[in-house]
Structure 1
Amino acid sequence: MLDSRTIEIIKSTVPVLEVHGETITRTFYQTMFKNHPELLNIFNHANQRQGKQPTALANAVYAAAANIDALERILPVVRGIAHKHRALGILPEHYPIVGENLLGAIKTVLGEAATDEIIEAWSKAYGIIADVFISVESDMYEHSEQLPGGWRGFRRFIVDRKVQETAEATSFYLVPQDGNPIATYEPGQYITVKVKPEGQEFTHLRHYSLSTAPGAAYYRITVKREDGDANRPAGIVSTYLHQRVQEGDILELSAPAGDFTLNQNLQSPVTLISGGVGLTPMISMLETLLQHSEREIVYIHAARSREHHIMKEHVEALAADFPRLKCYTVYETSTADDLCDKSGYIDATWLSTIVPLQSDFYFCGPVPFMQAIYHALHEMNVPEENIHYEFFGPAGSLDSSASNPN
């Protein structure tokens, strides 16, 4: 437990973190990777370049500081991060490295304002916070290993099938090389793929949502190829999976993880909303609901156009077989032959005419898309406890002015 003086000092730094948090975390990552380049085998390089990871860490540090006297308030955030840490293979021995470099970054950025008393207080606080993460992650490692078909670390899987869904999206059906059973999972969870493409100095790890209901003898992921443009480079892992990995090849996977999961204990209607490749966890949830419940379901998918609509025929077939499933399609651009339900974007006015307001809402997609959905649901007065969403990559915030969901 922290003494009252340490808590007082930590809380006094909260305004400073609001101003300098991202500068501190950027400095932290730069210094840590310089001192420990081997950690580049774990962290997502693209998130570092785009600034997502420093922002996410700054938010987490801010939340921890603001709640240092009652860390149980941020346990949901801790569990979400811990799921990703477990899936990446973060271990207790990594935490002293993080602590040393984080404290060094605080001193570097704040200079003389980071007194010895402040650094000592943060050292104590970090020790408490690290212990919470280590404890939660230890339980997760043990749980994933003890599940029937579960394992710790990474396990080799064969690409049994590779199915092109659209010009830029491909599904990979993965079966264990050892022939043993695989762990079940909660609809909405993800696995982590570890690869080392030719010419790359470090291994690369990426989380991919499982895109089918649990219970099969395989895992399926559906990956959109990130080609890049003038503002961002092509995705190293997605390009490698699309262009290099073939049926019969081996991929290393961590056991399923993630806290964005379907609540299967309710009987209320469910509305699933996806944008682009954000449909992957939605398909897992949809198939599970159809197999194991009698709940009314509305599924809305938004895509740039008909050509970019992933698994269109699959969802249409499900809707034909299950009258309690109502499906709607929104295309950003459409032609008279596309037969979509709406052109343009999803908005509150249209959404309120097709969904039961007492629904549980789940959605996933690009961040601007999710911001638009989040604000539409609030405009419709949907209770916060009925709103569930998943970020691809480091967690961010949707609680800002909705931007154009382009």
Structure 2
Amino acid sequence: MLSEQSVQIIKSTVPVLEVHGVAITKRFYELLFGAHPELLHIFNHANQKQGRQQTALANAVYAAALHIENLAAILPAVKQIAHKHRSLGVKPEHYPIVGTYLLKAIKEVLGDAATEDILNAWAEAYGIIADAFIGVEAEMYDRAHAQAGGWEGFRAFRIGRKVRESDVITSFYLVPEDGGAIAGFEPGQYVSVKIDIPGDSHTHIRQYSLSDSPGKPYYRISVKREDAAQDRPAGKVSTYLQEYAGEGSVIRLSAPAGDFVLNRTDDRPVVLISGGVGLTPMVSMLNALAEKHPHRPVTFIHAAQNGGVHAMKRQVDELAGKQPQLSVYYCYGQPTAADRERQSFHKEGYVDLPWLKSVIAQPDAGYYFCGPLPFMRTVRRALREWGIPESDVHFEFFGPAASLETASAVR
């Protein structure tokens, strides 16, 4: 338990973290990688350059300070982050290193305002939070290894098939190189892919949702090629996979992870809402529902720019033709002339509440959504305005967690 004095000191730093949180975490990563460059083999460099990782960590630190008297309130966030850590291979010995450089960053950014009492209080709090992560992750490591078909660390998989799904998305069917069984997973979970790119000094790890239902002799991931845009560099791993990794190539995977999963015990209708490549976990859920729960009504809503980038449309349409309980709707932001001629979409523009109300016949349902951050904010706001209970709303971020409010918690 945290001492009462430390609790009060941590609470007093909440306004400071609200203002300086990102500056602290930015400096933290600079110090960390300067002293331990080997950790660059774990972290996503693109998220670092775009500031997403720094903001996510700042929000996590802010939340810990805000709920310091009741850390159980942030347990869901701890579990979500712990899933990612287990998937990436974060180990207990990494936590003291992180604590050391987090405290150094606080001291550097806040200067004289970071008194010895404040630093001691945060050291005490960090130790308790780190122990919570280590304990949760230890259980996850044990389960991943002990389950049927499970394994520890990263395992070699061969690309059995490579299928182009759209102009920008390609699916990879992955089978274990050792010919053994593979672990089961829950629809919505992801795997970490570890890649060594020729000529690059760092190993790269990326997390991709599994895009087919469980129970197959393979894992399928569907990867969007991330092209350079404005201040965002081209995706190294997505480009490598699409342009250089062919059938027969070997990549390494960690066992499936993630807490964004379909509730298979709830018999109510399901609403799956996706934007862009965010359809990958939705298709996994959709296929699982069709195979194992065909009685549950499902509304599948997907938003894309146009038919050229709309992946897996044929498969979903074929499924809808066989499943009377499945309703499918597409929203195109900028449909092409061919899209109009084929009448391949149901709404032009963007997903909004009036349209959702018009296509969702039974609002008493479980809602799952995933996609680009602006899309997710729009959907979250619409469901809230509709009065959908928070307990029925589930979503997943691709990359570091962000805020679905109009601005991040930490500036």
Tell me which interval the TM-score lies in, with the shorter structure as reference length.
over 0.9
Q: Say whether residues 1:346 and 2:351 are aligned partners.
A: yes
- SS of the aligned residue for 1:327 comes to strand
Distance 1:244 1:308 in 2: 21
Equivalent position of 1:208 in the other structure:
208
Question: For the aligned residues, what is the CA RMSD?
Answer: 1.1
Q: Say whether residues 1:369 and 2:370 are aligned partners.
A: no
Equivalent position of 1:52 in the other structure:
52
Match of 2:404 among 374, 388, 398: 398
Equivalent position of 2:341 in the other structure:
337
Structure 1 residue 230: Cα displacement:
3.3
Distance 1:287 1:112 in 2: 57
Distance 2:342 2:17 in 1: 50
- SS of the aligned residue for 2:341 comes to coil
Contact 1:273 1:282 in 2 (8 A): yes
Equivalent position of 2:329 in the other structure:
328
Equivalent position of 2:245 in the other structure:
245
Structure 1 residue 401: Cα displacement:
7.3
- SS of the aligned residue for 1:163 comes to strand
1:230-309, aligned counterparts within 5 Å?
A: 230-293=230-293, 294-309=295-310
Distance 1:281 1:274 in 2: 9
Distance 1:6 1:372 in 2: 39
Q: 1:182 to 1:49 in 2, by over 3 A?
A: same
Match of 1:359 among 322, 342, 365: 365
Contact 1:211 1:283 in 2 (8 A): yes
Distance 2:329 2:2 in 1: 53
Residue by residue, what CA displacement relative to the aligned partner does 1:274-305 show, whole Å, maximum 9, x if unpaired? 11110000000001111111110000111100
Structure 1 residue 200: Cα displacement:
1.1
Equivalent position of 1:184 in the other structure:
184
Residue by residue, what CA displacement relative to the aligned partner does 1:238-265 show, whole Å, maximum 9, x if unpaired? 0000011010110000000001000111
Structure 1 residue 31: Cα displacement:
0.7
Distance 1:258 1:349 in 2: 32
Give the percent of matched residue pairs that are identical in Structure 1 and Structure 2: 56
Equivalent position of 1:24 in the other structure:
24
- SS of the aligned residue for 2:358 comes to coil
Bigger Cα displacement from structure 2, 327-336 vs 260-269: 327-336
Letter in 2 for 1:67: H
Distance 1:372 1:338 in 2: 28
Distance 2:332 2:394 in 1: 23
Match of 1:379 among 378, 381, 385: 385
- SS of the aligned residue for 1:353 comes to helix
Distance 2:380 2:391 in 1: 12
Letter in 1 for 2:341: D
Distance 2:387 2:229 in 1: 38
Q: Say whether residues 1:136 and 2:154 are aligned partners.
A: no
- SS of the aligned residue for 2:303 comes to strand
Distance 2:315 2:38 in 1: 43
1:3-14, aligned counterparts within 5 Å?
A: 3-14=3-14
Equivalent position of 1:313 in the other structure:
314
- SS of the aligned residue for 1:362 comes to strand
Distance 1:351 1:300 in 2: 9
Structure 1 residue 218: Cα displacement:
0.2
Distance 1:247 1:372 in 2: 38
Letter in 2 for 1:341: H
Equivalent position of 2:119 in the other structure:
119
Contact 1:195 1:203 in 2 (8 A): yes
Structure 1 residue 382: Cα displacement:
1.1
Contact 1:306 1:338 in 2 (8 A): no
Contact 1:190 1:256 in 2 (8 A): yes
Structure 1 residue 90: Cα displacement:
0.1
Distance 2:405 2:244 in 1: 39
- SS of the aligned residue for 1:107 comes to helix
Equivalent position of 2:69 in the other structure:
69
Distance 2:58 2:167 in 1: 37
Distance 1:27 1:401 in 2: 22
Distance 2:114 2:106 in 1: 7
TM-score, scaled relative to structure 1: 0.98
Distance 2:291 2:259 in 1: 21
Letter in 2 for 1:64: A
Equivalent position of 1:100 in the other structure:
100
Distance 1:216 1:297 in 2: 22
Q: 1:341 to 1:387 in 2, by over 3 A?
A: same
Distance 1:151 1:75 in 2: 26
Residue segments in structure 2 that go unaligned for 5+ positions in a row? none
Structure 1 residue 338: Cα displacement:
3.7
Structure 1 residue 68: Cα displacement:
1.7
- SS of the aligned residue for 1:96 comes to helix
Residue by residue, what CA displacement relative to the aligned partner does 1:57-100 show, whole Å, maximum 9, x if unpaired? 00111111112222111100000000000000000000011000
Total equivalences in the alignment: 402
Letter in 1 for 2:239: T
Equivalent position of 2:162 in the other structure:
162
Residue segments in structure 1 that go unaligned for 5+ positions in a row? none
- SS of the aligned residue for 2:328 comes to strand
Equivalent position of 1:193 in the other structure:
193
Q: Say whether residues 1:38 and 2:44 are aligned partners.
A: no
